[in-house]
Amino acid sequence: MPGSENDIKTKIALGKKLYFEKRLSKNNTQSCNSCHNLDNGKNGVDNQPTSKGAFGKRGGRNSPTVWNAGLHIAQFWDGRASDLKAQAKGPILNPIEMAMSSEKAVIDKLGKIKEYPALFKAAFPKASNALTYDNLAEAIAAFERTLITRDRLDKFISGDAKALSQKEQIGLDKFIATGCVACHSGNLLGGRSYMKMGLANKYENIQDFGRYSVTEKDEDRYKFKVPSLRNIANTAPYFHDGKAKTLGDAVTQMAWLQLGKKLSTNDISSIVTFLTALNKIN
């Protein structure tokens, strides 16, 4: 993953500890893992339409998976963070999410926890002042750069014709023929471009302007980052607002909203069958 060439074991270990650290929130209840759950090999989401923050208020967008996130074009649905490090800085200070008042408040809090000064020094041995907010974000990013999944589609592409069942191969063919690959392409089957939500037919949620809120360009109104389909069967609900409850519902709506197509029940089922082959196996 980009940037991993500079990661050392102590930095990754610190980042992992910080990722699960609830004391990074105002009331010690919320960690990165609260919304992007990795417990026991889970799929990096909380399977909620939108996530509750430290004080119980929900955010406005669905929490995407952190698996493979560092391979995306940018971070957040609207791409407002250029990379994992920039993304890691946001939720801690977000008043709805982790609600810390300032970078200084975060570092002052960590500095009073016995183990952290030494862990930061070990992770950033060349720094005269290792315990900084910038280094905190860099450490979390280093851990997240280890979160790469592989699945049976990888084996199939590599030449193992039996890696996908006959039904899954039929679903892959239907996925391609329907036109899903126009946006869900590349190694991640998405994550590398922005697309208007409601390209062919208008989407019901017109309150969230998507990328327009970042760029203020009219052509970016209602555009969102195309999600990766890796592990998609395990990361319901779907869309930036979490309004598609099931994978079948998401496939149905995407075909209509983006391609102007009404798929048959059999075609929807076939595509869903293929998408289950994208569940991580490592």
What pLDDT digit, counting tens, does each position of 105-136 carry? 999 999 999 999 999 999 999 999 999 999 99
Q: Per-residue confidence at 59, pLDDT binned at 50, 70, 90?
A: very high
The yes-or-no verdict on residue 282 having pLDDT over 70 is: no
Strand partners, 81: 75
The yes-or-no verdict on residue 7 having pLDDT over 70 is: yes
244 in Cβ contact with 237 (< 8 Å): yes
Spatial distance between the Cα atoms of 197 and 207, rounded to a whole number of angstroms: 12
Residue 45 is predicted with a pLDDT of: 97
Residue range(s) of every CATH 1.10.760.10 domain in the chain: 4-144, 152-278
Once rounded to an integer, what is the mean pLDDT over residues 11-22? 98
Q: Can you spell out the DSSP letters for 3-48?
A: TGGG--HHHHHHHHHHHT-GGGSTTS---HHHHS--GGG--SS--S
For residue 97, indicate whether it is catalytic.
yes
How many percent of the chain have pLDDT more than 70? Answer: 100
Once rounded to an integer, what is the mean pLDDT over residues 130-155? 97
- Nearest CA among 66, 84, 64 for reference residue 74: 84
Q: Per-residue confidence at 49, pLDDT binned at 50, 70, 90?
A: very high
Residue 218 is predicted with a pLDDT of: 97
Residue 252 is predicted with a pLDDT of: 98
Here the tokens at position 129 are 């002042």
Q: Per-residue confidence at 260, pLDDT binned at 50, 70, 90?
A: very high
CA dihedral 26, 130, 6, 1 (to 10 degrees): 0
Once rounded to an integer, what is the mean pLDDT over residues 236-242? 98
**Active-site pick, 21, 97, 138, 144:** 97
What's the pTM value of the predicted model, to 2 decimals? Answer: 0.96
pLDDT tens-digit series, residues 175-231: 999 999 999 999 999 999 999 999 999 999 999 999 999 999 999 999 999 999 999
Q: Per-residue confidence at 3, pLDDT binned at 50, 70, 90?
A: very high
Residue 155 is predicted with a pLDDT of: 96
Residue 17 is predicted with a pLDDT of: 98
CA dihedral 275, 277, 278, 282 (to 10 degrees): 160
> Which CATH superfamily is 4-144 part of?
Cytochrome c-like domain (1.10.760.10)
152-278: in CATH 1.10.760.10: yes
